[in-house]
Structure formats: structure tokens, C-alpha cells
Structure 1
């Protein structure tokens, strides 16, 4: 059922860039693609964008946010110019700290380091970011409306990568709650899904490329791949059109940390290869203003490079870098370049550096190869092999280097890139907030279940899983609730189980939740414990074997648990803790 909230606010919390948008219910009903989107100004007066750098400048108390986005960049640069920056925390691109594999734990107390190596509790940094973006939205909303609106009157949608673990999603929810959002007014949405939903409302004229293909005009039954390329992660899924305004997932989300940050890492490695880690680290710490300027210039050049350009790429190069090189090595940077494998590809002057087009393009190789390899693997699956369209969204999808590689490698498939690909996730989050039924079915990434004990099978079950209990010789086993690859309908529970108490006056029940990438297994040793299901029992009494009916929904963006006490008919407090 669609939400009845008069206003939906969307926060696209990205690795490299973030933004926000909102839409009123009336406007959505007239035109689902209509949105009020924040326009960010770089500070120089020359650049206006729909997303700002995910940068935070925090005062030395670790509690007060001084600035966000372009303002944080500019103020930190000024502080560095006055040698006052060490009194502050400067965080950027920290979202990747949550990009974990199945089995890798997250903790509420985990810390992350800022650009200069100073640590803060991670959830505080995430909460400050969300708090700033929410506050910024509310200022704009209340400037537009005739009567003031409180943030708990807004339905909030916070986007996350579809490949994230359940623990990472819970981390973001708890950070949002810490920022003051009410949990029942908060939806966690998956980035490639929201982008796909938004593009179902776009005409053919809003595509950069793709001929006459329009995602919105695709008939029922048509399938297409969604390639969401961001600064941190690459998220890929496959959708099938169910109706005019809804789709279902037919291939579970997959991908990895292969986004635009890998290009930045390749450039940093190039500088370290030329000058050594000591020189680069000293430059970053002692000449922070120049370091920031170098990376700003690189970001501009990275966006402008194209596959068909063969001219050298010119960049301003800080004189301080060469001076630090001389001080640390007693040699000249020019001499080191001329003696290196880059002699033919790099021309260096005192404050300028020129890269050959081939060398600069090579910075994209690692990222692009990983994306191409993964898409190729997916296309060998029978559910995916016949698709004729790839929808590219996300900020990195605006790179002509990535676009060219996808088109060249998959020449038989039409590639559609919407205008404003970087903001499709944010705009689609509004559509999803107003109408969550836009997604009808999902495909499970993991097999989920609980630990159990089964009769031990001699000669079959591993000896190390044998355990002696009151019931005899048993095996530490795994009871699967749903299987990897299973297609599940959204908003419907997939599992309903009856659990019973085993002692008198029992106040709560605990069950360990396991997950595995195997489609089927008997053993919990082949699974990862990802969390713990906790049930609080109302009015505990002396009864043993008192039943509780537990419904679990795995088809949402988060796992949802509902429990009803059999004796009283009352709903019980049930939740899964995904943290260690």
C-alpha cells in the first residue's frame, strides 16, 4: 500500500557525493518524476550540482559539525592555509567502511579515521551527516510551505547499496535514529532499485544514449539490467516489467567496491610509485592545502578524459611536492621520473605535469575490468542472457570511459544512460517512498535460517559436529527458512514458525540467525552467524512450552520480524540484532 504521508524526503548518502530531494504527495500524484532537488554551490560561483562531496569538517570536540560538502572542502583548505587544520576532523569517502562481505562483523563502537588519521566513533560521523542533510531539507521545506512541518511528519527514505549486508543496513538505520528520525517513518531503499523505478517514469528524450529505447515504454515481461555505478560500489541487478509502474527482481543484486574511487586509488598509487610513500605521506600531512588542490584538479581531469582523446592531460602540480621529494631523497623529482618506467608518459615542469593519454586512461583499467568481468559472468546466467538493455545509473556512469567500455564489450545490447544519471537514485527514492509497491518481487542473495540439532548420521555427518544431548547423539545443524536464489513476493512473510519456552517464567527467547551463499546445506559450520533474533514475552508465567508464532519477511530491503504470543494473542517485541 502506498504511504499517505504528505511529504517524502529522500537522502542519497553516497561514498563520494551526497544529496537530497523531497516531493509533496499532490505533486507526486500529478507527476511521479517531479521533485524539489537541492542545488549545491561549489563556493567559487562557477559550479552548481545536484549532489555535494560527502565531506565533513568537525570541530576538535568531536561533536560539533562545522561544515558539510563544498563548504567543508573550502573551509578545510583555508584552515590548512593558516596551519589550523590539525585542530579539526576532516572526513571524506568514509561510507565504504560499511561495505562488508557476508560474515564480516560490524560493531556499534567501531571507529573510522579521518584524512589525517584521527579516529572517531563511526556511527557518530554517519549520524552527523544524516542530521545535517535532514536539517537542510527541513529548512527548504518550511521555506516553501505556509505552515511549519516537523521532521517526524515527513516520511524519510535513505538509500543504500543493494549489495550491503543486513548489518550495514541496520547500522544506517541506527545512525538515522541517532540523528533524530523516527524509525517507523524511515524506509531503507536499495540504490539500483530506486534508479530503475525512476527511469520507468522517463521518456525516451531523457536518455543521453540508447537510440529510441525507453525504460518507461518497455512492455510487460521485458527484462533489463540495472548497472548502478557509484563512487564506492558497483551494484547490478536485473528487473522484469510487471506493470506500467512496477517491476520485479529476477537476479539478486551483486557487485563490489569497484566504483570511481578505484580510479582515484590508481592515481594515488602512481604518485607513490614515482616519489615513494614517505614523500607522499609527508606532502599530504605538511602541505595539506596543496594536497587538496591537487585532488580537486585531478577530479576535473578525471571527468573530462575520453576514450577518443589522445592529447596529453595537463595538471597543475604543487611545487611543494618536488621540494619534499628533494628533502626526503636528496634527489630531483624530474630525475626520478626520467629514470622510471613513466619516462615516455610523463612530462614534468616545476609546477606542471603532463600525462600521456594512454597513461591517464590506464587509471580506469582496474575498475572497468572488474565491472566488465562481472557483467559478463551475469550474462551467462539463463535468466539474464537474453536481455537487450543495460540501464546505467549513478555518478560513475557519467564517465565516458566506463560508457565506452560497456558499449564496446556488449555491442549487441542497447545501453541507456539517463540525463542526470547521478541523481536518478535520489529521485527514484521519492517514488519508492510514495509507492513502495513499485517493487513486487525480489530474489534472495543468501540462504537464511537458524541453528538447530538433528539426529547424527554416522558416516555422513562430520565428527566435529557431533554432540551428546538428552535426546541422544545429535548434529549441530542448520534449519533453512529461505534459499538463495528464491524469488519472494514483497510485503508478504516467507516464514511462520511456532517457538516454545523451555523454562518457567521465561521472559525472552533468543535464536541465532545464520546465512550462507550456498543454496542448501545441512550444517551451520558452512554458514555465518549474522545476528540474533530476540523475542520478549508478555506476562511470563509458570508454563513450559508456551508458544510464540514468529513471522519473518525476507523480501523487504530489511528483514522484518513479527511475533504473536499464542496465550495472550498479543504482539511481542521481536527484533534481530545484526551487530556483534
Structure 2
């Protein structure tokens, strides 16, 4: 369970697996106690990485029957892309033995936790399908081993807590997926903590020096309500909090988010290229480009995308074209669409476009979608005074100015601020969270959680079709009852157990109780509670398993009180036998 992790680690290491970029940071307990700002980041990623604190979310693997999952880690990050491009170009090694994976995190947004759901697969650079869990585990393992290699003095430290960041809008099953991947990467459960990315950013803001907080509309002041907006390569992830009088944080509403981020600008650029050139060869020839050529054009566009100012003078940008595209342009198979003047080819060598095209067209849709998500929170949370933009995409001056301008039209009193290092916010906050995991006083449940149970049949309120006769007890029961533990919209205090529900074994000599866990996204205090787990809004997301093998008491005396603890980034459970007060191990398995 999440609440069983070590409380006072000597060392905290946070890993942020991003949609586009990933990195890690760490801090010793002694430094946390003396200076919370003293968090160290790995910046040695090799040449070519646009962001100094992170590297590309990419990993290069090689077939090896003796290695974990039959795949040997060659390298990761920017080096993985560069090494793979070299292998493909020099022909000295068998290309088919190598597998490059990029930007695979976004696949986890498809994971919902429904019964029978299959694990998503991930394709390598040649279209070969692999298990996503294997690739994610190996990527986390590569990051972990890179830390120990570069910080060799930490290898004998046993009291280490690893914090793995996850999007707030992920399903519980997706979070469980990451937890299991980390365990497969060699991180023990008691040394692992999950941190919501926008919540980590809020913790970062809370711990900024006073002068920086003052420059950000005093976000750390008691009573201040602010919204952190984590803008990454693939997602916008939001979390609204209030700073309590004692400095702790209280979540104001369920997290919000959307699949929109920096990658959408890249996609818009390549779509514009497709629209601005005539001929069926355009997309085909791009697929024939060498890995080196594609790596260069992607990295060059990424750098210019974040560097373009919101109001600076227009400049010309040129990106190198792959040879296959240049050849088709020379032979006339690809032509410039004369009705479009946004993108051109100069000297038959480079793509040419103006910074105004990027600023006015490519960012437009992404910024509007981000603003819409922000406004959905502000409409219901009138006390929010500040919107804090963090994450790699938030470094773009265009994003900053567009969001400020759009919000100003409807919410002129809400300040939009950006910390001096928005790219470091999530990682640094995750490290601080590992040292002080109870910085949040309470969180809001985004769904209603309960278990599938039974109740003595009541003719007045139960459906006749749910009646079930137990031959052991001689009693009519109602089956498929949705026994609610945590309601949607309920504010749950961290470390505080919810009101317990009592359960007893139904059969003689029963040594365990297995209670299916259900969630209802549309069920809550304001929407009416679901009575049966067969309701369309209910879905099974796991099981609560309570071990009763240590007691020989009769069934009637083996009452078990199950309480949910919904304070961390995942649900946890404590089950207590009421006659003895003894606690049993109970875990939630999200259909793992």
C-alpha cells in the first residue's frame, strides 16, 4: 500500500517520465532540512538535447535472450536516437536486432481499468509490436541505473525513496501500471511513491524563496488559492489548491486535463507542410528519410518552437529537408501549392517559413484548448487568484502571452504567472514531496469508489431479480450491491480513514474475503448514488483481498471492517477483524 512506504528517507530520487522529455533529480535528507532549494538535477545527457534538465523520452534496446524480457538496454534519451541513426547509416551492425522506442507514455491514457481490457502495445521504429509494460519498465530501469552510475557513492544507501511522477488525469489502472513497471525495474514497493505532476508543481511553488513567491502573486501565502497548469509535450494537467494557515495544501476540486501539449505544435507544422505541397509523394518520401535526417529536422524545429517570442520582429527559419524529399522536389513529384504561401522550399535544400507563421497559426489551436480547460476550473472555483504555468511547453513566450491574453478577457482579476524555471517545477516538487508526503491535508475524490457486496434482502427497496438464497445461512440476500466507501467530490483528509464497512464470510471455513472494487465516474452526492454494480456507470477496477487464514473463529465472529484511505495518489485499504482488533493485509489490485 502507498501509505506503507518509508517515511524519512535519507535520499529521495524523483523520476519524471514525460511524453516528450524525461529526467531525474535528487536530494539528501540533510539538504532538505537545511535548504529545500538545494535539489540536484542530472544535466549530463549528451549533446543535442534541447532541454538541459531532461533528455528525450526514447530508449534503444537489442535482442538478447539472457536479458530481462529478452531485451538488453543499449542506451536511452538523445543518445538512443543518435546511436540508432548511426546503426542504420553505417551498416556495421544488424539493424533488425535493434529496437528504438519514442514517446510511448501517451499510450497509457488509453488505459481505463475496465474488465477484459488488453494492455496496449507499443511499436518500435520498424513497426514491430512489443508489450508497453516491458518497455516502460526498461526505461525506468535505464534512468535508475544512470543515476547510480553517475552518483556512485549512493549505491550502498538503502534508505532511498524513489518518486515516480504520473499525470493527475490518469486512471487508477494506469497509475498501477506505472507502479508495477517501477517494481519490474528493481524498485521495491516500500521504496516507491507516486506523485501527481501538477500537485508536485504546486509543492514546488509553495517552497519557492519569498522573493520568487512575491513575484508570482504571493502564491505561498496562507489563504491563497492557485491553479497549477503543467504543460508538457503531450498533455495539459491541472490541479487547484488552497494554502492552509499551517502551510499545508488543500485540493479544491478534481484534477482536470486534456491531451494537448507541445507535440500538437509539431503535428500542426507537419500537417501544414502536407497542405502546402502538391503531390502524393510528400508523406511517402518523409517516411523514407533516414533516422539522422528526421532526428535533425525534429530537433531543429523543437528548438525554434520554444525560442520564438510572442511579439518579436519576423524572422526566417530554415530546416534541412530529407534527401528523399529534395530529390522528389527536383523531379517535380512534389510541388509548392501556389495558393499557399506559408511554407516554401529554398534552393531545393531547406524548408523555409517565417516566425509569424509559427506564432500565429501553429500555436493557436493548442493555446485555445489549454485555455478552455483552465476556464472550466475557474468557472467553478471562484476563489482562485493565480494561474501558474509550468512544464516544458510553458517555457514558450508564445504560450505564456496567449494564455494571459485569453484569460484576461474573461477573468481580468486572475494573475497568470510563470516561475523562473518552469521546466524544473514538477521534478523539484516531486523530490520535496518525497521528503514531506503529507504536505497535502486533503484531496478531492474524482469518482465514487465502493465494493460489490450483499445485503439482507428487503422487499421494499431491493430489485426482485437480485434476490439470492444462501443455503449455508438460510437467508435471502440482495446481490450486486454497490457499497460506497468514497463519494465523488468528497474531500478526504490525508491519513484519515473513511467510515468503515463491515463484512463477514458467507461460507463455513472461508479463509479469505474477496470484494470486487467498483468505480462510478458519474455517481456522487449531487448526482444520486448507484444502488447496483450492474448499473451502466459502474465499472470494476480491481479487488480488495482480505486474508483470514490466521483465525479459526466461527463466521459470525469474523467481522472485518474495511476502510479506504484516499490520501495518496492511489487508494489504500486497511482491514481490521473487529473481535480481536487485528489488522489484515488488504490491497487494491487494479486488474493488474
Q: Quick one: distance in 1 between partners of 2:115 and 2:280?
A: 30
Kept in 2: contact 1:42–1:48 (CA 8 A) = no
How many residues align? The count is 559
Match in the other structure for 1:5 = 9
Q: Decide which of 112, 123, 140 is 1:130's aligned counterpart.
A: 140
Kept in 2: contact 1:249–1:441 (CA 8 A) = yes
Kept in 1: contact 2:506–2:555 (CA 8 A) = yes
Match in the other structure for 2:67 = none
Q: Where does structure 2 lack aligned partners over 5 or more consecutive residues?
A: 65-69, 470-474
Residues 360 and 511 from structure 1, CA distance in 2 versus in 1: closer, same or farther, beyond 3 angstroms?
A: same
Kept in 2: contact 1:108–1:123 (CA 8 A) = no
Larger mean CA deviation between 524-533 and 63-72 belongs to: 524-533
Q: Decide which of 260, 263, 276 is 1:261's aligned counterpart.
A: 263
What's the offset of the Cα at 1:375? 1.2
Deviations 1:437-471 (A, max 9, x none): 2111111111111234576889x99x8x9334226
State the TM-score, normalizing by the size of structure 1. 0.89
Q: Decide which of 407, 410, 432 is 2:407's aligned counterpart.
A: 410
What's the offset of the Cα at 1:372? 0.9
What's the offset of the Cα at 1:474? 5.1
Kept in 1: contact 2:113–2:590 (CA 8 A) = no
Kept in 1: contact 2:512–2:548 (CA 8 A) = yes
Q: Quick one: distance in 2 between partners of 1:228 and 1:68?
A: 24
Q: Quick one: distance in 2 between partners of 1:107 and 1:72?
A: 31
Q: Quick one: distance in 2 between partners of 1:133 and 1:105?
A: 32
Q: Quick one: distance in 2 between partners of 1:87 and 1:493?
A: 51
Kept in 1: contact 2:281–2:328 (CA 8 A) = no
2:173 paired with 1:167: yes
Residues 277 and 290 from structure 1, CA distance in 2 versus in 1: closer, same or farther, beyond 3 angstroms?
A: farther
Kept in 2: contact 1:506–1:540 (CA 8 A) = no
Match in the other structure for 1:67 = 75
Q: Decide which of 543, 550, 556 is 1:539's aligned counterpart.
A: 550
Q: How does 1:46-445 map to 2 (within 5 A)?
A: 49-61=52-64, 62-83=70-91, 85-100=95-110, 102=112, 110-143=120-153, 149-150=156-157, 152-203=158-209, 205-206=211-212, 211=215, 213-216=217-220, 218=221, 220-243=222-245, 245-273=247-275, 274=277, 279-281=282-284, 283-285=286-288, 287-309=290-312, 310-323=314-327, 331-333=332-334, 335=335, 337-339=336-338, 341=339, 343-349=340-346, 350-361=348-359, 362-381=361-380, 384-411=381-408, 412=412, 413-445=414-446
Deviations 1:118-156 (A, max 9, x none): 22211111111111211222234334x6xx524x42111
Determine helix, strand or coil for the equivalent of 1:466.
helix
What's the offset of the Cα at 1:359? 3.6
2:29 paired with 1:18: no
Deviations 1:357-376 (A, max 9, x none): 45423222332221111111
Q: Quick one: distance in 2 between partners of 1:441 and 1:17?
A: 30
Q: Where does structure 1 lack aligned partners over 5 or more consecutive residues?
A: none
What's the offset of the Cα at 1:190? 0.9
Kept in 1: contact 2:316–2:355 (CA 8 A) = yes
Kept in 2: contact 1:33–1:198 (CA 8 A) = no
Q: Quick one: distance in 1 between partners of 2:169 and 2:547?
A: 31
Q: Quick one: distance in 2 between partners of 1:178 and 1:106?
A: 23
Residues 547 and 396 from structure 1, CA distance in 2 versus in 1: closer, same or farther, beyond 3 angstroms?
A: same
What's the offset of the Cα at 1:225? 0.9
Match in the other structure for 1:513 = 517
Q: Quick one: distance in 2 between partners of 1:108 and 1:155?
A: 31
Residues 436 and 266 from structure 1, CA distance in 2 versus in 1: closer, same or farther, beyond 3 angstroms?
A: same
Determine helix, strand or coil for the equivalent of 2:254.
strand
Match in the other structure for 1:451 = 452
Q: Quick one: distance in 2 between partners of 1:456 and 1:366?
A: 55
Question: 4+ residue runs of structure 1 moved beyond 6 angstroms?
Answer: 105-108, 275-278
Q: Name the Cα RMSD after superposition.
A: 2.9
Q: Quick one: distance in 1 between partners of 2:216 and 2:569?
A: 33
Residues 558 and 19 from structure 1, CA distance in 2 versus in 1: closer, same or farther, beyond 3 angstroms?
A: same
Match in the other structure for 2:504 = 500
Q: Quick one: distance in 2 between partners of 1:104 and 1:272?
A: 38
Match in the other structure for 2:572 = 560
Kept in 2: contact 1:231–1:395 (CA 8 A) = yes
What's the offset of the Cα at 1:278? 6.7
Q: Quick one: distance in 2 between partners of 1:472 and 1:104?
A: 30
Kept in 2: contact 1:232–1:258 (CA 8 A) = yes
Residues 204 and 376 from structure 1, CA distance in 2 versus in 1: closer, same or farther, beyond 3 angstroms?
A: same
What's the offset of the Cα at 1:503? 1.0
Residues 261 and 353 from structure 1, CA distance in 2 versus in 1: closer, same or farther, beyond 3 angstroms?
A: same
Kept in 2: contact 1:157–1:189 (CA 8 A) = yes
What's the offset of the Cα at 1:494? 1.4
